[in-house]
Structure 1
Amino acid sequence: MSTVKITQVRSTIGQSKVHEGTIRALGLGRIGRSVEHKESPELAGQLRHVAHLVKVEGKDA
């Protein structure tokens, strides 16, 4: 199973509450913070929703 590294690169100030909630659900909240998650369809949907706020790097497990 592969994982992806997600890094927040933009602030949620001025974004909708839904975007802020998605960032928080991913485990982010500050610019520069990174987390790793296993790939899944749910994760892909979340990333598509906040693609303008995060940078995604693929990794193989």
Structure 2
Amino acid sequence: MCVGKDSAQLTFTPTSAGPKTEVPCDQSVVQQRITVHKPIRIDVDGAKGSTGVIAWQIDAI
């Protein structure tokens, strides 16, 4: 979920965890299943001029 203005992109490493995902910062909930068997890195890149807060929830490990 992102709350604020404009949008952000989440990128997962390793890339096999999931594709780059666009997240609108309009309080929409975006859900994506990620399955990996090693540590994962989540990078967040905001669009130029975007402001806001991104939060995520881990349902199971």
- Structure 1 length-normalised TM: 0.41
Structure with a larger share of its residues in strand = 2
Q: Which has the higher contact order (CA 8 A, sep 6+)?
A: 1
Q: Which has the higher helix share?
A: 1
